[in-house]
Chain A
C-alpha cells in the first residue's frame, strides 16, 4: 500500500507499526461502541483506520452478521487483539525496516542521507559482480 512520507513518519513513531504488521492475520477488533469485528487484516494506516475482510461482526446486542469487507475508522477502535502466535518485537522490527527501506529507496537517487542508511544499503544488497 503506497504511503505518504507523513504517514510513514507517523507510523514509525507510534505503535501503529505493530498493527500494520498484522496484515494477513485474522484477529478481533473491539470497537468503541461495544461491538466487535473479527476478520482478516487487509490494511492498517497511520491513523489506525483498519480494513478487514471476511468479517464476523457482533453488535452491542450480541447479534452476529457476516460482512465481506469492513473499514473502521481509527477513532472508533478500542482494542485490537494481537494473535498469540505473533512475535510482537519481530513484527515491529520488520515493519520499521520496511519503512527504512522505502525511505532509502526514495532517497537513493540523490544519495543516502546519512552514513547509517548507507551502511544499511551495503549490508542488505549484494555487491555488483
Chain B
C-alpha cells in the first residue's frame, strides 16, 4: 500500500466507481474523493490527485457496516494486513502529530512480518450514496476472487487444464505409470535383448563394486580392512560375481 501523488483513474477493468466517497484510515479522515474498484487494485484519491492504492492480496477482509451505533456512518470497511508506508503517510502533513512510525521503515513488502504481529490497517470508505454499498462490496468480492493467495503452500492447487477425471486418466494411460515388477524366473524370460544386456551390465557392476568396497566415493584409500571398525566387515574373499543370481525372491 502506497500513498501517491498525481494519481489518475484506471482505464481498464474498473468494476465499480464511486464518487463522493470519504476515506478514513485508522481513524484519520483523509478527505472526500473517488473510489475505484479495479481488477488490478483498489484505488482512492481526492480531487487534488492525492490518494492511495491497495493490492488485493494485502486485503484481509471487507464488509458492509450499517450499524450506526458502532460507527456513525454506514460504510465499506476494509481490513488491510500490515501497516502503510510510513514515509508517505508523513506527506499528509496534518497527520504528523499522530505518527506512530518507526522512521523510514517501508512496510510495503513486509506483509509477512506484519502478519505475524497481527498489525492491520483499518480503512473505511464512506460513500454519500449509502445504497451503493452493496455494489461496492460485490465488486470488491469479484476482484478479490481474481487474486488467490500466491503464498498458499498448504493447498495442492496444481490442477491446470482439463478436469482431472480419474477413470479417464486410467483409461488413457493404462497402468503405464505404475512400473510392473517381475520376479526372478518369469522376469528373465520377459527381458528383451536390450534388457538382458542391461541386466548383465548391472550384474557386472555389482560384482565390481563389491571388490572395490574400500574405495569410497571413488577415492582410493590405502587403509586396510582393520581400519574400518564400524562393524560392517565383509569378507571380500567370499564374494564372487553373480553371487545373487540364484537368490530366491521371497516376499
How many chain A residues sit at the interface, stated as a range, is 35 or more
Q: Which of B61, B67, B151 contacts A71 (CB 8 A)?
A: B61
Among A33, A37, A49, A73, residue most surrounded by chain B Cβ atoms (within 10 Å): A73
With A10-B159, A31-B60, A49-B144 as contacts: A115 and B167 at CB distance below 8 Å: yes
Residues B163 and A51 in contact, CB atoms below 8 Å apart:
no
Interface residues of B in 99-151 (CB under 8 A from A): 115, 118, 120, 133-134, 137, 140-141, 144-145, 148-149, 151
Where chain B touches its partner, the secondary structure class is: mixed
Q: Is B118 a contact partner of A47 (Cβ separation < 8 A)?
A: no
B144 lies within 8 A of A5 (CB): no
Bound together, the chains give a CA A57 to CA B157 distance in angstroms of: 30
Note all chain A residues with C-beta closer than 8 A to B134. Answer: 69
CB contacts (< 8 Å) of B70 on chain A: these are 64-66
Interface size class of B (residues with CB under 8 A): 35 or more
A98 CB–B CB distance under 8 Å: no
Q: Which residues of A contact B62 (CB under 8 A)?
A: 70-71
Q: Which residues of B does A touch, CB under 8 Å?
A: 57, 59-67, 70-71, 77, 79, 81, 115, 118, 120, 133-134, 137, 140-141, 144-145, 148-149, 151-152, 155-157, 159-160, 162-165, 167-168, 171
